[in-house]
Amino acid sequence: MTPSAERRRELLSTAAEVFAAQGYNATTVRRIADEAGMLAGSLYYHFDSKESIVDEILSTFLNELWAGYDEVLDAGLGPRETVEALVTESFREIDRHHAAVAIYQKESKHLSTQPRFGYLTESQGRFERAWLGTLERGVAEGVFRADLDVRLAYRFLRDTVWIAASWYRPGGQHSPEEIARQYLSMVLDGITPREEQTGRDRTPQETPRRP
Amino acid sequence: MTPSAERRRELLSTAAEVFAAQGYNATTVRRIADEAGMLAGSLYYHFDSKESIVDEILSTFLNELWAGYDEVLDAGLGPRETVEALVTESFREIDRHHAAVAIYQKESKHLSTQPRFGYLTESQGRFERAWLGTLERGVAEGVFRADLDVRLAYRFLRDTVWIAASWYRPGGQHSPEEIARQYLSMVLDGITPREEQTGRDRTPQETPRRP
Amino acid sequence: MTPSAERRRELLSTAAEVFAAQGYNATTVRRIADEAGMLAGSLYYHFDSKESIVDEILSTFLNELWAGYDEVLDAGLGPRETVEALVTESFREIDRHHAAVAIYQKESKHLSTQPRFGYLTESQGRFERAWLGTLERGVAEGVFRADLDVRLAYRFLRDTVWIAASWYRPGGQHSPEEIARQYLSMVLDGITPREEQTGRDRTPQETPRRP
Amino acid sequence: MTPSAERRRELLSTAAEVFAAQGYNATTVRRIADEAGMLAGSLYYHFDSKESIVDEILSTFLNELWAGYDEVLDAGLGPRETVEALVTESFREIDRHHAAVAIYQKESKHLSTQPRFGYLTESQGRFERAWLGTLERGVAEGVFRADLDVRLAYRFLRDTVWIAASWYRPGGQHSPEEIARQYLSMVLDGITPREEQTGRDRTPQETPRRP
DNA sequence: AATGAATGAGAGTTCATTCAT
DNA sequence: GATGAATGAACTCTCATTCAT
């Protein structure tokens, strides 16, 4: 990585942190520059515009996210295992890119109205297809409840996972895998006890962290 | 209701709609005024500032919300029934004040840093106590799973419900009670089938709409 | 005086008080209306504009002022007695119209640039001629010091008198005549003792208040 | 002096000129910017607000003024000489900072109500103590007339001197020292001739300009 | 006579952006 | 690579004024 690219990455990381904390609109480019130890004008040596900064933050994040997702989706897992793997992968992304995820969560609806951010809408579509497909397959195979409103369940799962970015802080007491397991146990089995439940064999297994 | 108060309510409703759609910061008072069919300056005959508009939107909403919540919390219900009633009440509030809820969801973190919006923080505290208490009681009584991480479950339930305001549109095909029932069935029983499940008696009953 | 004219006079008095206290520009017509117990718009039933309010305040004041001044100037007094009478008359005007005087003092320079307030400039001219003439006559007659820079002395006297409006409050411990006597003693005799001074016969006599 | 500080000084000087000519409230920042050859927004690169501009103008002026006054007050002069030196110093300040003095004269009453301008009130207090003390000392020592109402004389001297800023223009035919001499001769000896007056020895001497 | 609601011009201020140095 | 100074559009808000009632 060239030194220039390294600086760029630093700046993007700083900007993401500020955007996540204050919101895109409420964040001034001056504030970002302050945080990076330079003057507002100097940022324009590195980036075209404020917009192109979020753009790069979000697209970088989504590229990585889909690399992980596609690996899961192409692995030929069953519906339940797919759900478990997608959720776990999501919490890992929150762990690694929590600022980008928070921005994505808060601003994507607003930003996606602009052509430049068309990929947000596109990504949302892939998202929807992946989840809906998995859920429908699970219902068909009897792995998920027959009376499930899959569209509602899709929104439920989607929101449930990403909203965690609003409170999750990396380095806390729970690893992303731990949080994923807890979430999955609630979503898959519910918060009320299952009488016949033996525990171990129904609770989602820990997915090993990839190297 | 005096015509003046009626006009005020109309304007607040218009403003709430715009705030919810575009975000507080991204919304100009000109836009609100446009939508209300007047000039930007004219808004200031009715309100002190843009801030006092959101303030009134949010505090009105929270007052109504807590009226409903308190009724539930004071009813002496069991933990499971309390959760059901709170979730149902929440979806009703989303139905009635979907714009206010969306604003609350998106902006309260940011706004609550200002003293004027201290009641947001306060409300969040009451919220947390009500939910945590109910969950803990449920675990103690064996109504909820013993291995539940209640703090995590609290966040899960809280966010899961409110985030629905971001996609819920009143007058759609599902009534708030219907959506609440579906959500509750996922949260309480999970999305995987329960072998011994008799269905009817474990699925949350429809809570009758209050007159 | 018709009741309408009476109300008008009240409003003008109220307005003058506020203008004097806060300055013309800094005073909002709403503030005046508040003070008068009505709404801002209602003032426009009585007056054409904010400007016409000051206009009426100032022109009324100046008319009365010049009535008094002209009486003095036409009385055929000597220069010293003329100065004494003008100063005394001025302090009486400050006593009666202290608000108008304060406005005149603070705003006339600014207002007189507008054609509508041409009479302010005109009045200032008459003022200057009256004072300068009196001073020159006094110097010629040996009543005032021969080395006097009359233009400087004119400004000195003019400012010295009117500036008192900025701190004078009617009903205080000194009557206008008393203040006039003190001022005149400073201006005419200076603040250092005159060796041969017998006091009584050199201190300006109290001018009897007109009925 | 750095070029930046120099620019700042220029802008302050321009602003002071406009404030003095039109009054603080009546002056728009657009007008100041015009006069400075820039756009309104550009002023905010140099200053926080319109208020902070007057603030800097007034506080800079008062600092310099009190430097001069304190030198006089600490010099151990007699009361008459102190009055002469203070008046002379004042006219020099009017000469150097005529715009700031005019602003001080017109706006300080209004501005001093704000906490930020508390130093105006404070300065007025020091002013009062300095003048009153000197006058009282003079009366006690027999240098000033025994029948002097010192509070009245204080106001008289204070206002008389500063009001001159409203008409004084630097570079006119009279030097500040010349005007001070004339003023002092009126104030100390009065405008009527003193029979026994020897002239030279009682007229205030020209105070040499400090290097 | 007065109200209530609005107008519209313009105020102070913010901020993304530019560019010569 | 970064600075310092500026731009210009847009923003929130103020206020004198209007007018139907």
Q: What is B81-118 written as a DSSP string?
A: HHHHHHHHHHHHHHHHSHHHHHHHHHHHHHHTTSGGGH
What local confidence, expressed as pLDDT, does residue B2 receive? 75
Mutate to test the interface with A, among B24, B110, B185, B191 (most CBs of A within 10 A): B191
Alpha helix ranges (H) inside C112-203: 118-140, 150-162, 176-189
Supply C41's token pair.
């718009």
Interatomic separation, CA of residue C121 and C1' of nucleotide E11, rounded (Å): 30
Q: Report which DSSP code applies to C116.
A: G
C144–D183 CB contact, under 8 Å: no
In the complex, which nucleotide's C1' lies nearest to the CA atom of residue C6? E1
Which chain A residues touch B189 with a CB distance below 8 Å? 145, 189-190, 192
Kindly tell me if the per-residue pLDDT of A207 is higher than 80: no
Predicted confidence (pLDDT) per residue in C120-158, tens digit:
999 999 999 999 999 999 999 999 999 999 999 999 999
Kindly tell me if the per-residue pLDDT of A121 is higher than 90: yes
The rounded distance, in Å, linking the Cα atoms of C44 and B211 is 51
Alpha helix ranges (H) inside chain A: 3-22, 29-36, 43-46, 50-73, 79-96, 98-111, 118-140, 150-162, 176-189
Burial class of residue B34 (count of CB atoms within 10 Å of its CB; 0-12, 13-18, 19+): middle
Predicted confidence (pLDDT) per residue in B29-77, tens digit:
999 999 999 999 999 999 999 999 999 999 999 999 999 999 999 999 9
Q: Are A137 and A144 in contact (CB under 8 A)?
A: no
φ, ψ (nearest 5 deg) of residue A76: 70, 30
Kindly tell me if the per-residue pLDDT of C195 is higher than 60: yes
Choose among A185, A127, A179, A188: nearest CA to A154: A127
- Which pLDDT band holds residue B137 (cuts at 50, 70, 90)? very high
What local confidence, expressed as pLDDT, does residue D116 receive? 95
Interatomic separation, CA of residue C50 and C1' of nucleotide E11, rounded (Å): 18
- Which pLDDT band holds residue A184 (cuts at 50, 70, 90)? very high
Q: Are C112 and C123 in contact (CB under 8 A)?
A: no
Dihedral over Cα of C19, C25, C30, C31: its sign: negative
What local confidence, expressed as pLDDT, does residue A210 receive? 42
| 3-state SS string for chain D | CCHHHHHHHHHHHHHHHHHHHHCCCCCCHHHHHHHHCCCHHHHHHHCCCHHHHHHHHHHHHHHHHHHHHHHHHCCCCCHHHHHHHHHHHHHHHHHHCHHHHHHHHHHHHHHCCCHHHHHHHHHHHHHHHHHHHHHHHHHHCCCCCCCCCHHHHHHHHHHHHHHHHHCCCCCCCCCHHHHHHHHHHHHHHCCCCCCCCCCCCCCCCCCCCCC
Kindly tell me if the per-residue pLDDT of B202 is higher than 50: no
C-alpha distances (whole Å) from A72 to each of A79, A134, B61 are 11, 12, 42
Diameter of chain D measured on Cα atoms:
65
Choose among A163, A183, A197: nearest CA to A83: A183
The rounded distance, in Å, linking the Cα atoms of B52 and B50 is 5
The rounded distance, in Å, linking the Cα atoms of C61 and A62 is 77
For chain C, the residue count is: 211
Interchain CB contacts (distance < 8 Å): C and D:
105
User: Closest residue of C to D138, CA-based?
Assistant: C192
- Which pLDDT band holds residue C194 (cuts at 50, 70, 90)? confident
Q: Partners for C (CB, 8 Å, 3+ pairs)?
A: D
Top-confidence residue, C1 or B26: B26
Task: Among all protein residues, pick the one whose CA is nearest to the C1' atom of F2.
Answer: A42
The rounded distance, in Å, linking the Cα atoms of A204 and A85 is 10
What local confidence, expressed as pLDDT, does residue A205 receive? 47
The rounded distance, in Å, linking the Cα atoms of A27 and A14 is 12
Q: Partners for D (CB, 8 Å, 3+ pairs)?
A: C
- Whose structure tokens read 């007057």? D54
Angle of helix D79-96 versus helix D176-189 axis, rounded to 10: 140
| D and A interact (at least 3 Cβ pairs within 8 A) | no
What local confidence, expressed as pLDDT, does residue D125 receive? 96
Q: Are D51 and D59 in contact (CB under 8 A)?
A: no
- Which pLDDT band holds residue C201 (cuts at 50, 70, 90)? very low
D148–C191 CB contact, under 8 Å: yes
Interatomic separation, CA of residue B183 and C1' of nucleotide F13, rounded (Å): 45
Distance from CA of B5 to the nearest CA of A (A): 32
CB within 7 A of strand E: which residues qualify?
A 27-30, 40-41, 44, 48-51; B 3-4, 7, 38-42, 45-46; C 3-4, 7, 38-42, 45-46; D 27-30, 40-41, 44, 48-51
Distance from CA of C22 to the nearest CA of D (A): 7
Determine whether the distance from the CB of B49 to the nearest atom of strand F is below 7 Å. yes
Nucleotides in F strand less than 7 A from protein CB: 1-20
CB atoms under 10 Å from CB of A3, counted, come to 7
Say which residues have a Cβ less than 8 Å from residue D140's Cβ, sequence separation at least 6.
none
Nearest to B145 among A164, A166, A191 (CB): A191
Say which residues have a Cβ less than 8 Å from residue B104's Cβ, sequence separation at least 6.
B58, B61, B62, B120, B162, B165
What local confidence, expressed as pLDDT, does residue B191 receive? 85
User: Closest residue of A to B159, CA-based?
Assistant: A163
Q: Are B19 and B106 in contact (CB under 8 A)?
A: no
Buried b (16+ CB within 10 A) or exposed e, D35-65: ebeeeeeebeebbeebeebbbbbbeebbeeb
Kindly tell me if the per-residue pLDDT of A125 is higher than 80: yes
Predicted confidence (pLDDT) per residue in B153-199, tens digit:
999 999 889 988 888 888 888 899 999 999 999 999 988 887 654 44
Which chain A residues touch B182 with a CB distance below 8 Å? 149, 152
- Which pLDDT band holds residue B88 (cuts at 50, 70, 90)? very high
Determine whether the distance from the CB of A10 to the nearest atom of strand F is below 7 Å. no
Determine whether the distance from the CB of A39 to the nearest atom of strand F is below 7 Å. yes
Which chain C residues touch D149 with a CB distance below 8 Å? 182
pLDDT mean across residues, chain C? 90
Distance from CA of D6 to the nearest CA of C (A): 31
Which positions of chain D have pLDDT values less than 50? 197-203, 205-211
Distance from CA of D45 to the nearest CA of C (A): 27
Domains of chain B are 1-47 (1.10.10.60), 50-211 (1.10.357.10)
- Which pLDDT band holds residue A1 (cuts at 50, 70, 90)? low
Kindly tell me if the per-residue pLDDT of A208 is higher than 50: no
Predicted confidence (pLDDT) per residue in C72-101, tens digit:
999 999 999 999 999 999 999 999 999 999
The rounded distance, in Å, linking the Cα atoms of D36 and D12 is 10
A153–B195 CB contact, under 8 Å: no
Nearest to A188 among B164, B174, B190 (CB): B190
Predicted confidence (pLDDT) per residue in A52-86, tens digit:
999 999 999 999 999 999 999 999 999 999 999 99
